[in-house]
Amino acid sequence: MSSFKSPDAFYDPEDSQLVAEAKKEQAPEVDYSYTERDVILYNLGVGATEKEMQWVYEGDDQFAALPTFGVVPQFAASSGISLDWLPNFNPAKLLHGEQYLSIKTPIPTSGELVNQARLMEVLDKGKAAAVTTIVETRDKATGKVIFENQSTVFIRGAGGFGGKRNGSDRGPASAVNAPPKRKPDAVVEEKTLPRQAALYRLSGDSNPLHILPEFAAIGGFDQPILHGLCSMGIAGKHVLKTFGPYKDIKVRFAGVVYPGETLVTEMWKEGDKVIFVAKVKERGTTVLANAAATLVDASAKAKL
């Protein structure tokens, strides 16, 4: 068994007492079972089409989950970590900042998994807290790790508890991924569907921000917004179709997408890494930044 379960697995001498105690808390393990139907629903949710049989028809020889399906099983576990110990914690002021997914083995198209979540890093940003949670997803029968997710959320108004201000180097999970100063090696455009958020939420993220206009208005949005993880899935699909399979992917959520808008993914291949930026064509805004995927086969040429 990994040191993941040890109370001191993420001990940091710079942490305040408050954070050190919170890190020792062990969230209960959360089971996740899924079928080929769930895989198809996710693939459709991030824009797979009826012509892409390998993603929408379970009888296809190449039938597979898109790599970013890995953010789905961990969802219930990561939201099970309590942040009530933070000063002035208000869930309405929580923003999903970054996501890192590492894919450890080929993704089964159905299975029984178990998720374990831990607090990994907590930063005091003065007026806000930045909290990174790590979730390990294992095969229930064999104990083999399938996915590792690291999610960073920012909670406005919850700073001032002391301890670290700047994060540790977490390798590809915290890499800056600045795009090279040259034209992208590949660009893919995809118009999202007006119903995209309504479809994507069926994969487990049922936050009303993505479906209820009155709830979105409270958050300051004109209409419900697309899930950040859906935008990540669409851009991840563009990387896969252009450069082939990858073993990890990281994004920073830099802006919002409204369902029906066009997502443009600009990609640069740098060694075994594809650095990418996703923008909304209609408004010219960047929605995914500091983003990259590490290719399984670095010698792969662009398929475009």
Known catalytic residues are: 205, 210, 225, 228
- According to DSSP, residue 201 is labeled G
- With tokens 């990418």, the residue in question is 276
| Nearest of 164, 188, 182 to residue 242 by alpha carbon | 188
- Rounded to whole angstroms, the Cα distance separating 135 from 77 reads 7
Whole-Å CA distances, 248 to 7, 129, 146, 172: 26, 26, 12, 8
- Rounded to whole angstroms, the Cα distance separating 86 from 129 reads 8
- With tokens 């892409």, the residue in question is 52
- Rounded to whole angstroms, the Cα distance separating 72 from 42 reads 8
Q: Identify the three-state secondary structure at position 280.
A: strand
Sign of CA dihedral 276, 278, 284, 285: negative
Q: Which residues contact 220 (CB under 8 A, 6 or more apart)?
A: none
Classify residue 284 by burial, with Cβ atoms within 10 Å: 0-12, 13-18, 19+: exposed
Start-to-end C-alpha separation, the chain: 43
β 94-103/262-270 pair status: unpaired
Torsion of CA 254, 227, 140, 119, to 10 degrees: 40
